[in-house]
Amino acid sequence: MHIAEEVQKRKTFAIISHPDAGKTTLTEKLLLQGNLIRSAGTVKGKKSGKFATSDWMEIEKQRGISVTSSVMNFPYKDYKVNILDTPGHEDFSEDTYRTLTAVDSVVMIIDATKGIEAQTIKLFKVCKMRGIPIFTFINKMDREGREPLALLEQIEEVLDIETYPMNWPVGMGKRFLGIFDRHQKQFVKFNGNEAESYIPYDELQQAEHQDLVQNATFQETEEELELLDEAGDNFSLESVLRGDQTPVFFGSALAPFGVQTFFDTFIDMAPNPNPRKTTEGLVQPEKEEFSGFIFKIQANMNPSHRDRVAFLRVCSGKFERGMSVHLARTGKTIKLSQTQQFVASSRDTVEEAYPGDIIGIYDPNAYRIGDTLIEGKEKFAYDELPQFPPELFKRVTAKNVMKSKQFKKGLEQLVQEGAIQLFTAYPMESYIIGAVGELQYQVFEHRMRNEYNVEIVLESIGERIPRWLDEEKVDTTLFDERNLLVKDREGAFLVLFKNDFALRWFQDKHKDMKLIDLFEVN
Ligand code: GDP
């Protein structure tokens, strides 16, 4: 009973966007609404140093509140909100994808002046393949941007998801007057630097609002809205929760404008922690015994501190500090004692946590990404995390051939850990490593040097489009540098295409060959 109540309160989500769309600004405004920070102001979370910290660290420094780079939690109304960071810029890596396996919904921010951008597409694909509900916030309405209809069309076309505008903007940039909040049936008036105001639809005709309703832009938009009501898709929470429809909100994170209505509606609609798939069927979050899985392991870059933190998503039961659990992969019992820290709104050690919460546990090199921890005797494991298709590929060798033993050991372990993906060229065996972001190579190089004492040489073969083959034997003469044949760790063949053109050319010539996109199958 107690656990069920806690589950009902939890809302765990990530914000996805392309760099500069406004993720930091929106996050800060959400914190303001949660009353975690009192004064507003723009946080310029620009990075410094090689291993850039998250924008949230900047918020932390500037505001003196405790948020960490990875997970933030705060109370909002009756809810307990957990926001997981999905780093962009130079921090973008496979971990960013993996983080999305630990959330129950996602907020996608789109910059109205730019439309959909590259990083958003990648992150969106992961959400789509996991069936994660997506809520869209179209930002920067205080600037001249693209037409709202054109933006919705682009989302539907490029991302292949139905849209439902929860609100509809009146003008933009200097002509921006506000939004029709279709959900709450009110007009939200933009008052520049002043706070927004709310006018219920049935009060719009009152004398004091005549300036507004007589405005030509307002009247045009009213007509547009009528069309939308008649011809647009219907809202369906079921479709939203299946990930087939995205509610779209227009606003400005900076002003801030429309943030409150967006967040109130989002937080009510966003799903609570769901039952999750395991080897023994679905496990309900309300289940008495604690269980969870590890979705990310962060190694310390400081050579004198080799400790690592494993990020665990609680999926069922109640976590209590000091409890004994077993690791599904090995059956070993582990006591989760003093060393784990709650990666959340305070740096203190966490005493308890519930489904939807994320805890950081000290990793004495015992865990792997995807590991399940369970309290009690039951045996099951949460579904393995999918393999995400890398985009950047480099050939890797040891600088000193005498070090090939350490080289192989380090390579094997870091690949095992999920730091990087390993492929071998075929039939000429050479190591090729694949990554989602450049940061992974930096971490790899650094750890090979510091932990395995091996200098490596990386030779880029550029951005590639990987497609897996559904065959055990292939005619090697069909492949060359433009469509490079390699094997993954399981021995499956895949082709690294130089570009879209090479991919289409090949597919055209070999129509009977099935080329599999990992984003489509997981
Ligand atoms: P992030 O990289 O996604 O975290 O983006 P930031 O939150 O750092 O925002 C990038 C830039 O866009 C900053 O200069 C912000 O001040 C600006 N910005 C964010 N939201 C808005 C908005 O609603 N309107 C305008 N005009 N600028 C915004």
pLDDT tens digits for 234-243?
Answer: 999 999 999 9
Q: Does 89 count as an annotated binding residue? A: yes
Ligand 1, atom nearest to 44 Cα: 8
Q: Does 21 count as an annotated binding residue? A: yes
pLDDT band, residue 54 (cuts 50/70/90): very low
**Per-residue pLDDT, 66:** 33
Dist CA 253 CA 398 (whole Å)? 48
Between the CA of 139 and the centroid of ligand 1 the distance, in Å, is: 8
pTM for the model stands at 0.89
**Model-level ipTM above the cut of 0.95:** yes
Pocket probe mutation, ligand 1, options 17, 23, 25, 108, max atoms within 8 Å of Cβ: 25
pLDDT band, residue 348 (cuts 50/70/90): low
Tens digit of each residue's pLDDT (9 = 90 or more) over 366-420: 899 999 999 999 999 999 898 899 999 999 999 999 999 999 999 999 998 888 9
Strands (DSSP E) along 420-482, which ranges? 421-425, 431-435, 456-463, 465-469
Average pLDDT over residues 443-464: 93
- Residue nearest (by alpha carbon) to ligand 1 atom 2: 20
Average pLDDT, the chain: 88
Q: Does 17 count as an annotated binding residue? A: yes
Which domains are present in the chain? 15-65+86-93+106-269 (3.40.50.300), 276-374 (3.40.50.300), 392-521 (3.30.70.3280)
* CB of residue 253 inside a 6 A radius of ligand 1: yes
**Per-residue pLDDT, 61:** 47
Close Cβ partners of 191 (under 8 Å, ≥ 6 residues apart):
197
Close Cβ partners of 482 (under 8 Å, ≥ 6 residues apart):
497, 498, 502
Flag whether pLDDT at 65 surpasses 70: no
| Residue 244: Cβ within 10 Å count | 16
Q: Is the peptide bond before 256 cis (omega within 30 degrees of 0)?
A: yes
Q: Does 517 count as an annotated binding residue? A: no
**Per-residue pLDDT, 35:** 60
The residue among 228, 211, 114 whose CA lies nearest residue 169 is: 228
Tens digit of each residue's pLDDT (9 = 90 or more) over 283-325: 999 999 999 999 988 776 555 666 678 889 999 999 998 899 9
- Residue nearest (by alpha carbon) to ligand 1 atom 10: 20
